[in-house]
Structures are given as structure tokens and as C-alpha cells.
Chains A and B, each alone.
Chain A
Amino acid sequence: MKFERNLGVIDRVLRAGISLAMVYFGFFGNYLITDHIAGLILGVMGVGSLIIAIIGYCPLYGLIGFSTYTPRANAPR
């Protein structure tokens, strides 16, 4: 599967923030998610989201051909 960038900057920042929160509340902080298994699942999903945010490609976006990425370095010929 080719990794074509389709996440814009804001998109990636939001995703990273949310995935970090997910990882934290899933694995570490016990007060929001008190069930262990639920915490595990949440943590794993958070990690996955984080990976997606890092590589800049969301397979869901790729499926529907949606992109929030606007290449700025496109000089007219």
C-alpha cells in the first residue's frame, strides 16, 4: 500500500494530541478508564492513531479519496 500524504498539518496535530490522550488514559492514568481491558484497547487504538498521525497517511481518507493535505511547494512552471 503506497503511503500518499493526505493529512494536513492541523489534522496531524489534532490526531497526535488525541492519540496521546488515548494512550495515556488507556495504559497509565486509571481514573478515566477504570477497566483494564478497556484501557488496553484504548491504548492500542491510541498507538495506531499515533502511527497514522506520524506517517501522515490515513487509510480511511485514502479509501474515499479525501485529503486535507495541501502541498505548498508547487511552483508554477
Chain B
Amino acid sequence: MKLKYQLLVNFIAVVLMALLVFGYNAYEMASDSVDDAVQTTLANAGQLSVALMASGPQQDVAGAVRAVLAANNLAGSQTLALIDGDGRLTGPAPSSGSLAGQDWPLAEILARQQVTGSLTRGGRQYAWSITPLPHTNHRLLLVVRPDNSVRGGLARLASRLSVMGLIVVWVAVWVALIMTTMVSRRLDGQTLALQHQATHDSLTGLPNRALLNTRLAQAINSADTSGRSVSLVMMDLDRFKEINDTLGHHVGDSLLQAVGERLQKALWGSDTVARLGGDEFALLLPLADSSHTAQVIGKVLLALGEPFAIQGMNLDVDTSLGIAVYPEDGKNAVELISHADVAMYQAKHRGERYIRYDAGQDPHSLARLTLMGDLRHATDRGEISLYYQPKIDVRSQQVIGVEALLRWRHPQHGMVPPDSFIAQAEQTGIIKPLTYWILNEAIRQCAEWNTGGSSLSVSVNLSARVVQDVQLPGQVARLLERHDVRADQLELEITETAIMNDPSRAMQVLGELDAMGVRLSIDDFGTGYTSLAQLKRLPVDEVKIDRSFVLNMLRDANDAMIVRSIIDLAHNMNRIVVAEGVENKKILDALADLQCDVAQGYFYSRPLPAAEFHQWYENLFRPGQASVPESRPGSELSV
């Protein structure tokens, strides 16, 4: 608006100035022409008078003169006089009316010897004309002292100028406003285009991250007032990088555009599709209930399931969708976005098409992070302890060792199941000090039992991160020395996947441990991705069959076959086989038939704290007879 007014004011100022200049010039011109007009009028009046006088003495010459003068805006006093042949004034003309004042410069007029003219005396203007009379040598002198001749003529000019000025200003305003409207419309168009550019992705035309955030905040606000939910879905295209790299950016861009179009078609008007960059898209469903969300997801998956025809190629696109719903899955926009992201990555890694955010599974949730913090201090505060589960030699029915299992009694949460924190401990690296603590405690316990007379080996579980730690062998050696325990009393259990992450490094570490005399065993065998070639090279002494096979071996012929195969395989490679998950005598007998070497499970004992275990070992366990201190229904606890 400001621009408009500025232009308008400028325009009008220019017009007024032009008007002024033009008006002044016109005034000057007009002044000159007014005199001419006066002269002509007088000449006409004079001739009229002569004509009248010639036509008869009754004629009202003076009246006629006055009429002519008035008609031409030349009102004023006038006088008609006669000039005789000698150039002398003889007196008022017949029927001339009143004699003019004596102070009129008649002599001077006569002296001028002009037919018409005007002069100024004493501040008044006098104009005259001299007309010859027919048939005599007398002449008629008409002198007029106009009241406002200048003003009269110029008054007309002034009227014309002002009206013209009015018109000019009127036109000027119109033109100015039209111009400014055109200009401002163009500017508005540009502003709009810029705004659109700032809020939309240039490739697909979809809203960008900024606009999504704005709309998300709005949706959350209105959800607060209306009590409905807002669904946010994060999605990306699997293996998009590959497509871009192999087929080129043009194909990738065309694909993104096509995806954007299909997404838009799949959505209603109130829902928003946004492109966050790369191959990431987001769907905002305000006022969504679960059925609408499900519908939309169904449509999206359907729409993207059809192959895309890009530049003559048919491309299949897989997506992973992560869903977060306000207010259950997040307190504000930031949380919602991050949780939807987490859900999307979970979907990706699990190979699911879509996953809804689950706070329990979120490794970065506040609950989990605080748990990790607590874990750090748990060892200091004595909240962590080791429970021991015996391993029994099948043939001799002797306890040959124990597996040490981690237990955490949290002050608020009670007994925290290891499943819920081991994975995250691995991710955050806390697993290392934790494992060293476990090693220390297990070896110490072993030493304590040694002095008590028993000679049991202790097995400790190692995670992938610890297995890759090149300082592990040195630390173990120190601990063994500190507690004066023989290396072969320590056994380290490692899962297949832990080794396969970086086999060469694991090999180095395990090789050193083996050289020290420490026993090594593969845990949960049969559930990971072991390469048999690797297995043959690994310096493990023992293979532990995963409990899932053992538990079912009596019910499922396949599982029984697997158990048998593992036992044979291990024996063929000169390894000892341990079966985990021995729940009852039948299983034990079956395993004995298959020549399994060691058994571990509820049939003998659940994991017990050190003191209880020792009691069990001393008092309740006798060769050939096994009992469980407390019967516990349900399946085995792992770890």
C-alpha cells in the first residue's frame, strides 16, 4: 500500500506543478489577448453607435453601447463624444448619456491620434475607439473605463483552467492508481512465488520441511482443542541410493516426482504430503482416527506397490513407514517427528512395511536412557549380581561348571529382565565395563569355591562388542592372576552373530584367549549365521545348542533332527556339545541317546545366587539324582 500512495502523491505533485507553469504562461498570453479583445469590442461598439445615429436621433445609442459592452464582459463607465474636423472635442455625442467625469484623460487620448488603444492613468484603465461618421468629417469617440475588464476576461480563463485542472487531476489519479495497481499486482505475484518457493520442494512441488512443521504445529493445536488425534507418518524409499547411483540422478528425480504425485493422489484434501529431502517423505493426517490412518496407509502402500514407468523402465519401489500419533506417541511436534523416524527405521530393519512407534522398543526413549544411567551406577550400588546355573555332564551326572548370568535388582523397577537392557548396553558401550565387572566377580566366585574345595568352571557370556576388544585377553589374564584362578576354569560364551560381525578381529582375540588356556564356547548355536568354514577355524572348545531346539525336540521331529545334527557336527569337529533348555528327564534321556556331552536346564536347576547355588550343590545334588529346589512353571529364562 505504501508504494501505491507514494506513487500517487508524486504523480499528483508533478501534475500540479505542470498546471502551475502552464497556468502562468496561459495567464500571460491571456493578458495580452484580453487587450485585443477590448479593442475589438470597442471598435464594434463604435460602429454600432454610428450606425444607430445615422438611422435616427431617437435611437438609444448609449444603451446600445452599454449592451455591447456588457455582452462582452466589459462593464464600466463609458462616454461618447464627438471630434470635429480640427481634432477638437466638441462635447457629448447626441444620445450619449451622462458625461463622463472631467478627470478622464480625453486630451491625451486625442493627442495619441490612434483609432483604438488603451492607456492607464491614475490606476484606472481607459480604452477608446474612434469611428468616423458618414457624410461629415466629425468622428465619434468612445471611451470606456472598464470596471474589471482584466478580471472579466481572465475570470473566464480562470474558470477554464480550474475545470481543466480538475479534469487533469482526476485523470492523473486514475492513471496513477491503475499504474500502481499493475505494479503492486506484479509484486504480489512475485512475493507469492517466493513464498511458495520457500515453503515447497522445487522438484516435486510438495510442501517442504518448513511447511510441514508449521502445519504440524497447527494440527497439534487444533487437536488439543477438538480432542482428536494427529497422525504423522515418516516414510522413505528403500534402496533409493542404489537406483540413483546405478540409473542416474535424472531417473532418480523422475522417480521422486512420480512418487510425489501418487502420494498426493492417495491423500484427502486435509492431509498433507511433504518431501523432507532425499528420498524422505512425510504424511501429516490431522484429525485422524485409527481407521482413517489405516486407510491412508493402505492406499499409500497400494499406490506405491505398482511399478513406476520411468524413462522406459519399470521400477519397483519398496517403502518403510513409521507412524507416530499425537498425543500418545509424543508430547509435541519435535517428539512426534523423532518418534515417527524411530518407527520408520525399525520398520526398515525388521523388513516390515509399516510400524507404529512403541516407546518400549525405542532405544532412545527417555525411559531407556535413564535406565542406562542407572545401569552405570548399578555395579557400584550392588544392585547387580550374578546367578549361576549348573552344567552337568550327561554321562557322569557330575556338575562340571556353571554359567554366570546377570541379574539386576533396580530400586524402583525391581528385577529388570536382561533382555530389556543388554541390547542397549551393547549399543551404548556400557556393556564393556559391565562385562569386566562380571568377569571379575565370576572369577572371584570361582576362586572362592576353589578354596572351599570344589573345582567348578565358570562360563561368562561375552557380547559382540567385547569380543572385538583387543584388550580383552590382557584384562582376563590380569583378573585370573589377581584371583589366582586357572585359565581353564574360565569359559567364555560367545554367540554366532557376535563373531560374524568382524570375524578377523574376533579370531585374533579368541586366538589369544585360547592360547592362554581359556575355554571358549559358541552360544545359541543354530540361530545365527555361522559359516561352517569359519566354525572350523575358530578355536572354540564347545558348542551350545540353542534352547529353542532342545525344548521342542520331543514334539517336533525337525528340531530333534537339528539337535542330532549339531551334536554330530560338533563331535566330528572335536568339540563338546552342551544342550541348553533341558526341562525334564525325557529330554535328558533323548540327549543322552544322541551322545550329547553336557546338559543345562531347569531339570537340574534354575539360575541361583551364589550362596543358594552352593547350598544346592553341596546338599541337594547327588550323582544320578537331580532335583529342582522350587518348581517353576513356564519356559526357561534366557541369559
B626 at the binding interface (Cβ < 8 Å): no
Per-residue 0/1 for A32-72: is the Cβ within 8 Å of any B Cβ (1 yes, 0 no)? 11110111011001000000000000001001100000000
Cβ contacts under 8 Å, A32 to chain B: 159
* Bound Cα distance from A32 to B161, whole angstroms: 12
Partner of A42, one of B4, B73, B166: B166
**Do residues A39 and B177 form an inter-chain contact, with CB atoms below 8 A?**
no
* CB neighbours of A63 from chain B (8 A): 174, 177-178, 181
Decide if B415 is an interface residue (CB 8 Å cutoff): no
> Within residues 73 to 92 of chain B, which ones have a CB less than 8 A from any CB in chain A?
73
B159–A34 contact, CB under 8 A?
A: yes
Are A45 and B162 interface neighbours, CB within 8 A?
no
* Complex interface: chain A residues within 8 A of B178 (CB): 63
Chain B at the A interface: SS class: helix
Are B166 and A64 touching (Cβ within 8 A)?
A: no
Q: When chains A and B are docked, how far (Å) is the Cα of A45 from the Cα of B162?
A: 13
Tell whether, in the assembled complex, residue B180 and residue A64 are in contact, meaning their CB atoms are under 8 Å apart.
yes
Q: A45-B166, A45-B167, A63-B181 are in contact. Are A38 and B173 (CB under 8 A)?
A: no
CA distance A41 to B155 in the complex (A): 16
User: Residue B170 at the A interface, CB < 8 A?
Assistant: yes
Alpha-carbon gap, A38 to B161, bound state (A): 8
Q: How many residues of A contact B (CB 8 A)?
A: 13
Tell me the minimal C-beta distance from B518 to chain A in angstroms: 82
Q: Does B377 interact with chain A (Cβ within 8 Å)?
A: no
Q: Are B181 and A42 in contact (CB under 8 A)?
A: no
Residues of B within 8 A of A38 (CB): 156, 159-160, 162-164
Chain B interface residue count, Cβ-Cβ cutoff 8 angstroms: 21
**How many Å from the CB of A16 to the closest CB on chain B?**
17
B156 contacts A60, CB within 8 Å? Answer: no
Q: Which residues of B contact A35 (CB under 8 A)?
A: 155-157, 159-160, 163
A residues less than 8 Å from B164 (CB atoms): 38
Residues of chain B within 8 A (CB-CB) of A42 are 163, 166
Within 8 A of B (CB), among A1-49: 32-35, 37-39, 41-42, 45
Asked whether, in the complex, the Cβ of A33 is within 8 Å of the Cβ of B162, the reply is yes
In angstroms, Cα B446 to Cα A13, docked, is 108
* Residue interface bits B161-193, CB-to-A below 8 A is 1, else 0: 011101100100110011011000000000000
B174 to A60, Cβ gap below 8 A? Answer: yes
Contact status A64-B4, CB under 8 Å: yes
Nearest chain A residue, comparing its CB with the CB of B178: A63
CB closest chain-A residue, reference B156: A35
Give the docked Cα–Cα distance between A34 and B166 (Å): 16
Expressed in whole angstroms, the Cα–Cα distance for A74 and B164 within the complex equals 43
**A64 adjacent to B160 (CB under 8 Å):** no
Look across to chain B and name the residue whose beta carbon is closest to the beta carbon of A64: B177
The answer to whether B163 and A41 have CB atoms under 8 Å apart is: yes
Contact B181 A45 (CB under 8 A): no
Instruction: Please provide the chain B residues from 364 to 416 with a CB less than 8 Å away from any CB of chain A in the complex.
Output: none
Q: Whole-angstrom distance between the alpha carbons of A63 and B4 in the complex?
A: 12
27 contacts between A and B (CB under 8 A): A33-B159, A33-B162, A34-B73, A34-B152, A34-B155, A34-B158, A34-B159, A35-B155, A35-B156, A35-B157, A35-B159, A35-B160, A35-B163, A37-B160, A38-B156, A38-B159, A38-B160, A38-B162, A38-B163, A38-B164, A42-B163, A42-B166, A60-B173, A63-B177, A64-B4, A64-B180, A64-B181
8 new A-B contacts, CB < 8 A, other than A37-B160, A60-B177, A63-B178, are A34-B73, A35-B157, A38-B159, A45-B167, A60-B174, A63-B177, A64-B4, A64-B181
Smallest CB-CB A-B distances: 4 pairs: A38-B163, A33-B159, A35-B159, A38-B159
